[in-house]
Amino acid sequence: MSSCVDRRTIILRQLEKDDQVNVLELSRQFNVSEVTIRKDLKHLEKKNILIRSRGGAMKHSLINVDLSIYDRRRQNIKLKEVIGAAAAKMISNGETILLDTGTTIMELAKHLPKKIDITVITNSVDITFRLAEHPNIRVIMPGGILRRNSLALVGEQAAESLRGFYCDKYFLSADSVDIRRGMMTTNIEEASLARINIKNSKKVFALIDSSKFLTKGITTIAQLTEVDTIITDDGIPSSILQDIKELGVNVIVVNRI
């Protein structure tokens, strides 16, 4: 009998290939009950990965995947908290760091010690406001056009500003992760800024909750080999974890709350 995580991973791969799956066929394939398969599909539907249909499920359209930051804050919040807390421990006094946009990066910001003395470069408006509570953190924001869905400053002005900054560590997230395609997102503008930041950083840390390994994005931010460390939770499928380690990428796995 297959494990729950491995079974769902295979279901997602089959869905990506065929655009739809059938409950009865999956039940026979994995030698489990149809009730078990329906529970798998219900779990994946809650993560906005697929849409259940009569007798099975179909591939979730990528057209409207770009959720607002307010919707993202409600997704997998406990996973993001433990990942953000672990990432905050990677930062030391005196460093200059780049912080990406996103709710997982916000959890990192929330877990920074009150007296830490660092410089932060970020194009995230809400993270900037959060860091205003820290008296010893110097915050630098690029210019740009406000993207309301993510409360981020984007565009050529932001890109030109970020090209001039160099930092010790860059912390970013992604909408999805694929072994072959790398870290992916649904927003092209933010992907281009992330590529600039990766080039200008000594070390790159990717904060990825386990649900992101079972979804798909539209455009690649970077290959996994361009990342020094991935911080994720223990829900990551074992097969995917092994594949990432074989690429030579350091992986920190934190326990879920």
Q: Spell out the domains of the chain, with CATH numbers in brackets.
A: 4-59 (1.10.10.10), 69-254 (3.40.50.1360)
- What percent of the chain has pLDDT above 90? 57
Strand order in the sheet with 20-22: 20-22, 56-59, 50-53
For residue 86, give Cα distances in angstroms to 36, 37, 198.
34, 34, 20
Report the alpha-carbon distance of residue 140 to residue 207 in Å, rounded.
21
Is the pLDDT at 70 greater than 50? The verdict is: no
Is the pLDDT at 71 greater than 60? The verdict is: no
Q: What is the pTM of this model?
A: 0.72
Tens of pLDDT, residues 91-102: 999 999 999 998
Query: Looking at 15-24, 61-70, 111-120, 153-162, which range is the least confident one?
Result: 61-70
Tens of pLDDT, residues 183-241: 988 777 888 999 999 999 999 999 999 888 876 667 889 999 999 999 999 999 899 99
Tens of pLDDT, residues 121-132: 999 999 999 999
